[in-house]
Structure 1
Amino acid sequence: MFESVGWAEILVLGIAGLFILGPERLPSAAAWLGRSIRKVREFATGARDQLKGELGNDFDELRKPLQDLQQLRNFDPKQIVAKQLFGDDTNGIKPNGFAAASQPQPPVPPAPPAATPDPPKLAPGERPPVDPDAT
Structure 2
Amino acid sequence: MSWGLTFEKLLLIGLIAVILIGPDRLPGYAAQFGRLIRSLRDMANGAKERMREEMGPDYDDVDWKKLDPRQYDPRRIIREALIDEPPPAAAEPKPPRESAYAQRQRLLREGRPAPFDAEAT
Flag the structure with more relative contact order, 1 or 2, with Cα contacts below 8 A and sequence separation at least 6: 2
TM-score normalised by structure 1 residue count: 0.45
TM-score normalised by structure 2 residue count: 0.50
User: More helix per residue: 1 or 2?
Assistant: 2
